[in-house]
Amino acid sequence: MLSRRTRTRLAVYFAGLIVLNVFVFWQGWVRSRLGQSDFTSFYVAGQILRQGRGADLYDDELQREVQHSFSPSGLNKPDSLIPYIHPPFEALAFLPLARFSYLHAYLIWLFVNMALVAAMPFVLRPHFPILGKEPLALWLLACFSFFPIFVAAVEGQDSIWLLFCYSMAYATFSADTELRSGCWLGIGLFKFHLVLPFVLALAITGRKKLVAGFLAVAALLLGVGIWVVGTKGWLEYPAYVWGYESNQSAMWKAALGKSANLRGLISTVLPATSPHLKAGVLTLFSVLLLAGLVFAWKKTLPQENNRKAMAFCIGLIVTVLLSYHLYPHDLSVVFLAILLAIEGTISISTIRAWARRTIFGCVAILSCTPVYLLLIRRYKHSEIIAGVSVILIVTLWCEIIWPGIGKKSLALPDENAFGVDGNLEESKRKPKASAEGLYASETNPRNLSSGSRAQQVPALRLYLQRSAIPTR
């Protein structure tokens, strides 16, 4: 647990970030009130469904007409339409809000998002053995101080819902209920580009229950989408989304700069005159990241909760890097990855000092509001955030998933590797019936009981001294 002094410092730091976030919110309040926030597209979708015109949901002229009815000032510039480009089943969630005025619907949605953020500590704390012991107030301050979460709330986006789905997926995954975890990941398909890479890696590793739950929910959402817009509307949806993805002149895309994913990072490094080279390099590194994630899951044993958490963390960051497009509010899911990285780093004692400093340094950068303001709003170089994310996952791969790379380390087992009586499973750890084997069994730190660290250190030191003496 953290000392009282450290808690106080963190609380003051988080409170300062929240004040800065509120200042940003106040600057954007006028724009949101006039119907120029991202919530406009959701409200338009709800209004179209309320009018019974779901089959024309992806008609630009209809969306423009509806948006002009409550926000004429939002369409006073060319290409200023904020289109609804999300899957059709998600539009159904905004149908109840269409009964209210735009401003009232926006405030209701803002309240719901804030409530979800406040609920996350109650979901996650029981599954964090170390961080979960910290006060609830510190957790709440940390949640509301994360800049992408605040941006998602202010813009009226649905990224907080995706973060909540991932939080529930991790909570059920750590409790060994993979079927429920897959269902929660399936619910997150309203942002499919931030879910599919994560599930694909787990599917390759043979998580059949998780994949079954995911596919069941995906089939249900597919049927809901057909009911909302019809088969023709579903078939037109991919072309509609891709058309806007290729339209770089749209106002809502032109002000973003390069995105904080692998595509944005490669676009910065390689010249703009080589599109085929960019595509090839992007494909190569995407395959490498996905292969690394698959290998990380395969190297993680079911009873190793610490390493499962770290593999989940790597999966989140890799998914963000592999997403084709990424906006600042989409980085909300990185908050869960930050918590998992901190939990794993402080719970695994064999992580080397340089790696520990690197992980905490990357976490500090990714959780700092001024960094986002400078890189995203001031200089429009979000791809630097992607570079920090790459450094973080490479460090985690080397030090936690594969501790054998680099300097040789001797890792103690996780507490969950012990049986009910506090001893390791004899079938896996049974020593040879010899004097040398008996001595190794008694002094090997892998065979120690799950007592305090003070009881383990002398035996560990004796084991290291003996292991350096050659035997006949």
Q: Is residue 335 part of a domain?
A: yes
pLDDT at 301: 67
Q: Are residues 330 and 435 in the same domain?
A: no
pLDDT at 217: 98
Q: Are residues 447 and 352 in the same domain?
A: no
Q: Are residues 456 and 426 in the same domain?
A: yes
pLDDT at 247: 63
pLDDT at 253: 55
pLDDT at 401: 62
Q: Is residue 362 part of a domain?
A: yes
Give dist(CA 191, CA 214) in Å, integer: 14
Q: Are residues 449 and 355 in the same domain?
A: no
| Contacts for 279 with CB less than 8 Å, ≥ 6 apart | none
Q: Is residue 180 part of a domain?
A: no
Q: Are residues 456 and 404 in the same domain?
A: no
Give dist(CA 215, CA 74) in Å, integer: 39
Q: Are residues 266 and 350 in the same domain?
A: yes
| Contacts for 444 with CB less than 8 Å, ≥ 6 apart | 463
Q: Are residues 354 and 425 in the same domain?
A: no
Give dist(CA 239, CA 221) in Å, integer: 19
Q: Is residue 207 part of a domain?
A: no
pLDDT at 394: 93
Q: Are residues 308 and 388 in the same domain?
A: yes
pLDDT at 36: 83
Q: Is residue 356 part of a domain?
A: yes
Residue 328 domain boundaries? 256-410
Phi then psi for residue 115, to 5 deg, are: -65, -40
Q: Are residues 400 and 264 in the same domain?
A: yes
Q: Is residue 18 part of a domain?
A: no
Q: Is residue 22 part of a domain?
A: no
Q: Which residue, 381, 410, 439, sits at the end of a domain?
A: 410
Name the domain count of the chain. 2
Q: Are residues 434 and 310 in the same domain?
A: no
Q: Are residues 434 and 356 in the same domain?
A: no
Give dist(CA 408, CA 406) in Å, integer: 6
pLDDT 10s digit of each residue in the chain, 472 long? 788 999 999 999 999 999 999 988 887 787 788 788 899 999 999 999 999 999 999 999 999 999 999 888 767 666 678 899 999 999 999 999 999 999 999 999 999 999 999 999 999 999 999 999 999 999 999 999 999 999 999 999 999 999 999 999 999 998 889 999 999 999 999 999 999 999 999 999 999 999 999 999 999 999 999 999 999 999 999 999 988 876 655 545 544 557 899 999 998 888 777 888 989 999 999 999 999 999 989 887 666 778 888 899 999 999 999 998 899 999 999 999 999 999 989 988 888 889 999 999 999 999 999 999 999 888 889 999 999 999 999 999 887 666 644 444 434 444 443 333 334 344 444 444 444 443 344 444 444 444 444 444 444 444 444 444 444 3
Q: Is residue 433 part of a domain?
A: yes
pLDDT at 403: 66
Q: Are residues 318 and 395 in the same domain?
A: yes
